[in-house]
Structure 1
Amino acid sequence: METQMESQFSQKRQSREELIEAADGNIGVCGWIILILSAFMAAITFPLSIWFCVKIIQEYERAVVFRLGRIISGKAKGPGVMFVLPCTDTFIKVDLRVISFAIPPQEILTKDSVTTTVDGVVYYNIQSAIKAVANVNNVHIATQQLAQTTLRNILGTQTLANILANREEIAHNIQSILDHATHKWGVKVDRVEMRDVRLPVQMQRAMAAEAEAAREARAKVVAAEGEMNASRALKEASLVIAESPAALQLRYLQTLNTIAAENNSTIVFPLPIELMQGFLSRK
């Protein structure tokens, strides 16, 4: 029973929210009398009244027509030629093209207590002209302000590292939230981009020092691994040379050939350590 009551309440609330979109434009008896008088005046003043009655709507526009304060037939007019009656009909043009605006730089305190400044760009278009006119005072200003608030709320729950590493994912989350919130305004948010993340100078210096220290540590590790691999290779080479005494003589000749190729007059002659030990033992 409670579930049925909740479903009925939600249906009534949804129908109340969509009441403007589904309005049939019923103007009543007095409205019809005024409408007939307006049409009669337009017919009397023809063809002068034709300049006030015929309106042209562009391909990318839609017109929301109000007749005595009510939306006609619950849908927007256009594109093409549209006929309105003077004194009783008013209309508002709505641009359906994609609109972009830049989110002003927002100073945000991240989850790890770092102050940063972030700005972005939002791309959206109006899909329901009636909702955009009747459900919100100024749909463009409302969308811009909502984008600023959403950007601050989302980035305030993220750490600085997540903001710098997951910019696309964060932008997608902001786009989903904006699209859901502006649906009742007839707005479709197509894309949200985070343009720039600016950090304080002290934070930039600290991050640069940290990155430099990390690179130096990795360089030392790579150099140590290179020395270890080189020592292993030298050990294996010494074992191979020890098995064949002639290999050491061939290596000596190759070294002399390399020195001679460089037009060098210096000749290096290796002196065996065993020979020096013999002289030292005699002393």
Structure 2
Amino acid sequence: MYEVKATDSAAGGKLACEIYPDVFVIQGGGVISTYAGQANGVCPCDPLPPDVDASFEISDSQLDDAVEWATSIHEPESSRYAPRPDPSATKRNYSRLKASYDLGLIVEAARCYLDAAIAHPRDTVGKNWGIACLPSWEGTRVLPSHGYLVFIDLGSGWGMDMSAIMEGDVVRGYTMTVEVDRRTLEEESGQSLPELERRFADDVTFTHPTHSVFEGRAVSLSTEASASNVAFPAGLRWQRAAAVLADRLLLDEGNRSQRELHNQWLAEDVLRAN
């Protein structure tokens, strides 16, 4: 017998432990997986609230079955089961985001960017752009403090991302970052970039992305977001500058990684008001 920590709840309220990514052992016996039977790629369990601290025992045969399932998922070339999707694209990651962070604030921030940068987001979602959900989670219950909660992927580059400001294990706030075209930002604001940096030094962090895809034309704008203020300062006219850069990135086919990372459940929330 082995003792495991409960991470989830299964059908009938039974405790479950995600002993391997997408493989769950159940209190009282049994093993289930995202790829078993009627689950058909949908997580069969729900994450327990963070304050629940429980454990239970599993048998040797349960552990053996769990190992077989994990092997079939991670070695699909020798298995009859479907390959494991990126965790970012799963309903499980969406549920974790919803349980542990301010989903309403995250959705509003993503809408703010899409309204500014993407002309017809509903028509192009999952094709030209996608939204990643907890891309650094890697199947664990703790997100690294430097990790992204979400980012909007335009294929050859990111347009927007959001991260948590952590104090230990406590979320103190959120940071929203958008990528914009420098020349357009200066034209729209009527000031040079150094002048803008001085003007908004208390509210906005300006950085210069070095990735070759931006060709030196991009500026990253970061600000702390809250439920009462999901926006950059009014005088910083970033919206058209974000749209200009997004158009350039969308024209570059690049690496359409959002097809693997795109989370349809989070996208549905973001697009609901559009």
Task: Please report the TM-score for the alignment, with normalisation by the length of structure 2.
Answer: 0.22
Structure having the larger proportion of residues in helix: 1
User: Highest Rg: 1 or 2?
Assistant: 1
Task: Please report the TM-score for the alignment, with normalisation by the length of structure 1.
Answer: 0.22
- Bigger relative contact order, structure 1 or 2 (CA pairs below 8 A, ≥6 apart): 2
